[in-house]
């Protein structure tokens, strides 16, 4: 299979990146400094991530909000212009097809960012539900993420208007003479920005950002450990077609207006299944695990109770450089999901002690004004 590349492919190689296949793309997992140093740098200063493999889609035309509301459990009608919301595409069984970000660009105009591994499926799903609206796949756009406590100061020097954005807000802007769309968002738990930029201008913009002292290139390895510390789900790990929002601890993503007692209850795929789970509780729940000692656990390993009975499995794990120590997320039986519960993980026949802990593992530092 031939891997796709992003517009920053040549720059990654010039910077000495270790490239790996990811969601059909050849992507940088790390640069010479290594994952841990990249992780720590992002928490302390500013990291630049290439997330151009993500899908960018524009939906416009009369009834766009209602069409999107038929697919996600979010109050799209109430979303303000240049405001974003986290959303889930649900299936008829209440499972999650993908998680995405929806930004309102106008009365009947919405900008969507979907996961790389799901984008073909998501685009087909959207097309199948169009009711006179127009769908544009923004294939000629790259996506850069500038993340970390120094990101706002960097942005202030480039685009003062964007530096005034608060979490989940965006604006059209010009950087280096190029029209871009900037949002105050990201997936590291830090303050930061995502920049949708024409592919032809992406490398020049990336080079301009990397020339600013606090900014360093960061790979997918650190992006994963940063999001895990922040307690954020990764599609294919914490979210799948068989995992519903209640299990995943994402009931907050179901808008009040779309809940059973809301103004516009249901109307999205799997609503009744999800509402039933909300009322009765799901058999499993997503939890954070602090691993005792230094030995890591891995995705897919069994989680056991004190009697040695399997009660769940690991869905994501890493060394949390800011914790510091090995951490994981897992799905376990609901009654064993309270913080402080002692469990073990079967690591090739060795039982490692773990403790259920609250998430996020470190405080999220989104800028809310």
Domain 283-361: give its CATH architecture. Answer: Beta Barrel (2.40)
What percent of the chain lies above the pLDDT cut of 70? 100
pLDDT digits (tens, 9 = 90+) for 66-125: 999 999 999 999 999 999 999 999 999 999 999 999 999 999 999 999 999 999 999 999
pLDDT digits (tens, 9 = 90+) for 173-229: 999 899 999 999 999 999 999 999 999 999 999 999 999 999 999 999 999 999 999
Domain residue extents for the chain? 9-53+139-229, 283-361
Tokens 């969601």 found at: 23
Q: Which residue has the higher pLDDT, 62 or 176?
A: 62
Give the residue-averaged pLDDT of 42-51: 98
Give me the pLDDT at residue 249, please. Answer: 97
Give the residue-averaged pLDDT of 8-12: 98
| Residue 25: strand, helix, or coil | strand
Cβ proximity of 83 and 185 under 8 Å? no
46 contact partners, CB below 8 Å, separation of at least 6: 146, 147, 148, 149, 150, 151, 154, 192, 212, 214, 215, 216
pLDDT confidence band for 331 (50 / 70 / 90) = very high
pLDDT digits (tens, 9 = 90+) for 137-170: 999 999 999 999 999 999 999 999 999 999 999 9
Give me the pLDDT at residue 104, please. Answer: 98
Give me the pLDDT at residue 357, please. Answer: 98
Give me the pLDDT at residue 1, please. Answer: 76
Q: How far apart are CA 60 and CA 290, in angstroms?
A: 45
Give the residue-averaged pLDDT of 241-266: 98
CATH of domain 9-53+139-229: 3.30.1360.120
User: Which long-range contacts does 331-336 make (Cβ < 8 Å, 24+ apart)?
Assistant: 331/243, 331/247, 331/284, 331/285, 331/286, 331/287, 332/284, 332/285, 332/287, 332/303, 332/356, 333/283, 333/284, 334/281, 334/282, 334/283, 334/284, 334/285, 336/305, 336/311, 336/312
Give the residue-averaged pLDDT of 124-137: 98
């Amino acid at each position: 299979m031939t891997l796709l590349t992003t517009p920053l492919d040549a720059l990654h190689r010039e910077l000495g990146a270790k490239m790996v296949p990811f969601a059909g793309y050849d992507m940088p997992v790390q640069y010479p400094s290594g994952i841990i140093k990249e992780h720590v740098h992002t928490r302390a200063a500013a990291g630049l991530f290439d997330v151009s493999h993500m899908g960018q889609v524009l939906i416009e035309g009369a009834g766009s909000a209602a069409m999107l509301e038929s697919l996600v459990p979010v109050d799209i009608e109430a979303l303000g212009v240049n405001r974003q919301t986290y959303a889930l595409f649900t299936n008829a069984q209440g499972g999650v097809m993908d998680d995405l970000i929806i930004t309102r660009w106008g009365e009947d105009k919405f900008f969507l960012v979907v996961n790389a591994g799901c984008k073909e499926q998501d685009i087909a799903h959207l097309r199948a539900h169009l009711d006179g609206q127009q769908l544009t796949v923004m294939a000629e756009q790259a996506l850069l993420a500038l993340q970390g406590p120094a990101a706002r100061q960097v942005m202030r020097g480039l685009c003062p208007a964007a530096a005034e954005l608060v979490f989940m807000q965006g604006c059209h802007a010009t950087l280096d003479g190029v029209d871009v769309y900037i949002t105050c968002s990201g997936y590291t738990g830090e303050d930061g920005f995502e920049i949708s930029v024409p592919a032809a201008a992406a490398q020049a913009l990336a080079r301009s950002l990397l020339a600013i002292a606090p900014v360093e290139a960061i790979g997918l390895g650190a992006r994963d450990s940063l999001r895990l510390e922040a307690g954020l789900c990764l599609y294919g790990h914490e979210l799948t077609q068989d995992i519903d929002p209640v299990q995943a601890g994402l009931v907050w993503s179901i808008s009040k207006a779309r809940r059973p007692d809301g103004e516009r209850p249901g109307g999205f795929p799997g609503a009744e299944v999800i509402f039933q789970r909300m009322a009765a509780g799901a058999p499993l729940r997503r939890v954070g695990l602090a691993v005792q000692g230094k030995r890591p656990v891995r995705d897919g390993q069994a989680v056991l109770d004190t009697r040695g009975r399997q009660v769940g499995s690991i869905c994501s794990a890493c060394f949390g450089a800011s914790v510091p120590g090995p951490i994981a997320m897992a799905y376990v039986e609901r009654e064993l999901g309270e913080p402080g519960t002692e469990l073990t993980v079967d690591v090739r026949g060795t039982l490692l002690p773990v403790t259920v802990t609250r998430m996020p593992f470190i405080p999220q530092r989104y800028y809310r004004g």
